[in-house]
Structure 1
């Protein structure tokens, strides 16, 4: 019984000490998103052949704004599937904020973002070259924030508080569960269950990443920070985790078969990248 109480107390403390940082980070990001919102469509629609490169660079900015914008623009026939995938693959959701919340991980964040941008650029151009298709006009563009809640009444402060509370609750739940598991079975057993250092762990992480919710990226990041997931596996999971962008794509693009094809390509690119990193690292 004592180990359960200790695990829950440690999970609570580990989460609470990140709270001020999370709120400050989300407030900054909400301000940036709010004031860049009117320019976001324009940036992505004027990039032409540089689509995958620009998409990957903007996609690595934490938060859902560019993945939502890319889903809407692809549905409207404005950007190519390669540009869409570049944004999705480089999107880091809340992972960057969580890693930065643990001191001494600045180099990890830089490496993670750089690798995800390279993955987005390479696979984005590869998909466009292989498909060799211009996007068809499918529908009129809607507001890019129709599906992510960033225009809700209350402005950036309310949005920052809402995001902070949401991630705090996810973190609290996951940290407590993870601490209980580590106390009960040990990190070596948990790592073995999750196939650490196996070429198949990126596949498992990629499947988790496809869950269209920030809880997936929270879980993947915390498992990596605890030493249970390898770097290759967390890259696979976070590449597959396109934030809310995938959910928006399935909602605004009525071609279900096309959406499933994009989902499959995203998953395949993610696990290939993860397996390659697993093999070389």
Structure 2
């Protein structure tokens, strides 16, 4: 088979795989947009009032696909409303579009429950430990002020259909591009070679995945999920990568919270916790 035929087959197979997921993705995004549209304010009020239950509530809230709740948590933290532990629990539990992609892949539904459970456990546990031992070393006292009104998370007038469709198209494009790249790489190199390039079969693969997850864009979670589904990275590594993958929540944190040292401490802890969790799962599970 010549190069053109191989390329044509890769593009065709990738397109078919991604098109099959379109109806599911749109339905899921429609549901999520409805949840954010109608209950986002209620969740913000809950996070303000939960007190010591903050990390647990934050981890559960972060499970909802999309980075909307991580954006909200960053705003609440910058306004002095929630603790650093609660913020980290939301960031760690956030999975962006990874959950939707896995759910749309035949044969992987059972992975969703395990992934969510592990991330909630890591997020809640880390949040409580941070608030108990490190809160005063991280968080500079703040006056509760106005939350962000410029990130678009409060725009209700656009409804839910248009945002759901936009998210679906955007993720479809990412999926198609990364699926083409991965299919082509697998055709050329094989899964084992790709895994080796990503430090496969070593405890350092979760480190590489966690660094990729820090990219403040849903493209990172899409890439990590596709690598996991293709067998190139392990469950421990995808957990590490998705735990650091707070989406644009990290961008909003740096924009709204003006203490850069404090922000860097939070990012450092997010990275350290995610790497430790990934290596721990790799060694003991």
Q: TM-score, normalised by structure 2?
A: 0.94
User: How far off is 1:197 after superposition?
Assistant: 2.3
Question: Which stretch shifts more, 172-181 or 130-139?
Answer: 130-139
Residue 141 in 1 paired to residue 146 in 2? yes
Q: Partner of 1:125 in structure 2? A: 128
Distance 1:64 1:192 in 2: 31
- Number of aligned residue pairs: give it: 280
User: How far off is 1:246 after superposition?
Assistant: 0.7
Matches within 5 A, 1:1-281: 1=3, 2-133=5-136, 136-138=141-143, 140-143=145-148, 146-148=150-152, 151=155, 154-281=158-285
Contact 2:59 2:123 in 1 (8 A): yes
Question: Which stretch shifts more, 125-134 or 210-219?
Answer: 125-134
Distance 1:132 1:263 in 2: 14
Distance 1:268 1:250 in 2: 19
User: How far off is 1:190 after superposition?
Assistant: 0.9
* CA deviation vs aligned residue, 1:96-122 (integer Å, no higher than 9, x gap): 000000122221000000000000011
Contact 2:140 2:262 in 1 (8 A): no
Distance 1:67 1:138 in 2: 21
* CA deviation vs aligned residue, 1:132-160 (integer Å, no higher than 9, x gap): 437622462224x6315562753110000
Q: TM-score, normalised by structure 1?
A: 0.96
* CA deviation vs aligned residue, 1:143-185 (integer Å, no higher than 9, x gap): 4x63155627531100001100100000010000111111111
Flag structure 1 segments of 5+ consecutive residues without an equivalent: none
Question: Which stretch shifts more, 153-162 or 200-209?
Answer: 153-162
DSSP 3-state at the match of 1:102: coil
* CA deviation vs aligned residue, 1:199-235 (integer Å, no higher than 9, x gap): 0000000000000000000000010000001000000
DSSP 3-state at the match of 2:160: helix
Flag structure 2 segments of 5+ consecutive residues without an equivalent: none
* CA deviation vs aligned residue, 1:58-101 (integer Å, no higher than 9, x gap): 11111222211110111011111011001100111101000000
- What's the RMSD between the two structures over aligned residues? 1.5
